Amino acid sequence: MLDGEAKPERSWQDIIAEAATASRENNLERLADLRKELHDVLEKRNEALRARTASDKLPAQAKTA
């Protein structure tokens, strides 16, 4: 796979399940890769939640103004 190609995004639950296996196998390199993947997935999820929260607040603020 080329660096510019995006991998399909997995759920954080899938990443955690794979990390548990890598941990049992003492595969520290794979664990490091999974930690970064998990961080990226959770950051995207948090950004989406923040954006949704911000858009939910805007109409309410407009009504009170």
What is the Cα–Cα distance from 60 to 8, expressed in whole angstroms?
36
At residue 17, the pLDDT reads 97
Q: What is the pLDDT of residues 3-52, one digit of tens each?
A: 555 666 899 999 999 999 999 999 999 999 999 999 999 999 999 988 88
- Sequential DSSP letters for 1-49: --TTSPPPPPPHHHHHHHHHHHHHTT-HHHHHHHHHHHHHHHHHHHHHH
Query: Would you state the pLDDT for residue 39?
Result: 96
Q: Is the pLDDT of residue 54 over 60?
A: yes
State residue 7's pLDDT score.
62
Mean pLDDT within 56-64? 59
pTM over 0.75: no
